[in-house]
Structure 1
Amino acid sequence: MKRVSHQQASQLLHNKFVVVLGDSIQRAVYKDLVLLLQKEKFLSNKQLKSKGEMSFEQDCLVEGGSLNFMHNGTGYKEVRQFQSGHHLVRFYFVTRVYSPYMQSIFDDLRNGRKPDVVIFNSCVWDISRYNSSWLDNYKENLHMFFAELRGIVPKETLVIWNLTMPLGKTIKGGFLVPEIEHRASLLRYDVIEANFYSSTLADAYGMDVLDLHFHFRFSLQHRTVDGVHWNALAHRKITSLLLEHSAQAWGVAMPLAVVEHTEVAAQLPASGNSKAAKRHASRRNYSYREDFTRDTWPCSFMNVPLPAYHPPPDLRNGKCLKDQCIWFDYRPPNHHHQQNVMRSRHVRPHYAPYTHPRHSQYDRHGRYY
């Protein structure tokens, strides 16, 4: 595999402020980034499964988590922050892409230090826990989220929307309460539809899109037995994709190191139940049709009749997005270059908002600026 080294990550994010927003998958993205900024190691199984702990690899729990009552409800909060002499990474756990709690996060970004990189995703909770007819509500919340975020962060900020990774046919997790268990087998299809709308809207609002669903469609062996989460090797690959994307957006040359599988296996944490893992692996089917082994759309895909295009209204103030020079539809892009994998990167200047260690930005009680 090709991956970013500790030294490359530390140099690329030198004097950078990174904000990660999302669910438990994005929390593991935050944890792997924090770990890579300090050492050349992979996350352990315990670190991947833990949530709300007081400290992880020298970071600090700022709000929620074990400071409050731990639960699996939609109101669960967890804010974490890691700070070194030249790195600042913050994580917000969110269960909905736009909500009153998201507005409080926007207040943090509006009144505090402006981030250099924003990495975010919100999908599985949105389409399962709030409304069975989720599509219109999800699109409306995406509109409001992208519009407000675009007005808060400076144009130099690199904003990356991660598409949701493939779900298993049989899934279980904290978000899957008994009331929605009957929808578990259909969520993997809903995720594909939600990814389509969210990626198109993110592109229309000038955000970068990283299609993790595409990148991991043939790496299902790295998905854990719950059908939702992924192992340490997959998360190091996600970190490498994010940092490679950031380097190209900033015009920084960062060749990835090629690591042998034996070397990677030696660094990975040992599996807790090898027999169960072997049984789970034996049930996987890797026989894909020809259409799913190419990076191009199947020939029959474009034969589906497309709806008439109408510019959508701005859901916040009733004004048409035409006035803001943002015209888009939900059709797949028709370009010779493959656009459904990763959106073309916005070239942004590589700059440092602060150049000295700021050890006093939050105190030992975990309050942040």
Structure 2
Amino acid sequence: MRSLRQYRLFVTLLVLPVLAIVLIVVLVMALTGGGEEESTAGATPTATPTAVAGGLPSTPSAIGVTPVAPPITVAPTQPPVPEPTPPATPTPTEPPVPTPTPTPEGPIEYAVQEGDTLFSIASAYGVSVADVVDFNDLPDENFIFVGQVLEIPTDPAQVIERRESRPVATTAVVVPSDGLNVRSAPSTETGEIQYVAPGGSELALTGVIEVIDGIEWREVDDGNWVQAQYLEIGVRAAPTAAPAETAAPQPTPAPAATQAPAGETVRATVVPTAGLNVRVSADPNASVAYVAPGASEVELTGETQIVNGVTWWRLTDGNWVQGQFLKFG
């Protein structure tokens, strides 16, 4: 629109001077032609030709001639050059946002109704009986009861995820030769020591894992806990024959041991600092039930037996110790 208006203004400015010049020329010609006609009308109408040498009549000396103005040549008008149209800037097209794949609906809870079977439930939801049994960890696929709530998987990935997340029972061997503390809870602060698993012994683990303060704990099948860093997991202890007795060696009899009167329940202190073997019967070759630590106190029933000249005292827990290694009073 702007270019068209400029073009019209340019033509108007160019045409007006040309029209003015043409008008002036017409006026001049009109004025000049009128004067000559009047002077011609007052003169003699016929001019006598004059003879010249050669016998040819001469041209009249005076002939009325009307001067004619040369034509005015108007330079052709240069049409205005249209301004180039700037190229249109393409509007950036945003890539389409991908539509997320809808997540399958989670497991469906179903309460068992009267007359239901696992087969009818699985068929109703389009899954297999094996998947329902595996997903709910059912001990018997032929036994369900009214009111029992079952989880029905809606996607095979849910079955795989549930199976992989389920604890897997395994075994482990205690690595430290001096044994491993077995605690009541997965913590060295709040978990009380229930017993010490001997080095090289085998523990049955439930597969349940807890990580507390960066330490991995494993649950033992008796409900207690041990630190996994001291276990060789997934292996079994090598079977051995009857293990040799590894209890503390028999100490040298204390010369100043005090004998307590028989028939009374008394307390005594273990004299050897290395401890004292507590045996299941009054026999130096009997199995060692445990080792009573040195300086610890034991409770005696007062019952004694003399075997090969050695007096044995019965503990209140039913085991036996040699009286020569005890201090009474």
Q: TM-score, normalised by structure 1?
A: 0.16
Larger Rg: 2
User: Which structure shows the bigger proportion of residues in helix conformation?
Assistant: 1
User: Which structure shows the bigger proportion of residues in strand conformation?
Assistant: 2
Higher relative contact order (CA 8 A, sep 6+): 1
Q: TM-score, normalised by structure 2?
A: 0.17
